[in-house]
Chains A and B, each alone.
Chain A
Amino acid sequence: GNSVTQMEGPVTLSEEAFLTINCTYTATGYPSLFWYVQYPGEGLQLLLKATKADDKGSNKGFEATYRKETTSFHLEKGSVQVSDSAVYFCALGGYQKVTFGIGTKLQVIP
Chain B
Amino acid sequence: GAGVSQSPRYKVAKRGQDVALRCDPISGHVSLFWYQQALGQGPEFLTYFQNEAQLDKSGLPSDRFFAERPEGSVSTLKIQRTQQEDSAVYLCASSLVGGGTYQETQYFGPGTRLLVL
A residues near B (Cβ < 8 Å) are: 4, 29-32, 34, 36, 42-46, 49, 51, 89, 91, 93-103
Contact = CB atoms under 8 A, between A and B. Distances in A.
A44 B35 CA distance: 12
Interface of B is mostly: loop
Contacts, number: 62
Main secondary structure on A side of the interface with B: strand
Nearest to A94: B102
8 contacts: A29-B102, A43-B4, A93-B105, A95-B102, A96-B56, A97-B45, A100-B43, A102-B40
A96 B42 contact: no
B43 A34 contact: no
Interface in B82-107: 91, 93, 100, 102-107
Contacts of B110: 42-43
Given A98-B106, A103-B40, 20 more contacts: A29-B102, A32-B103, A43-B108, A43-B109, A44-B93, A89-B42, A93-B103, A94-B102, A95-B100, A96-B55, A97-B59, A98-B43, A98-B45, A98-B93, A100-B42, A101-B42, A102-B40, A102-B41, A103-B41, A103-B42
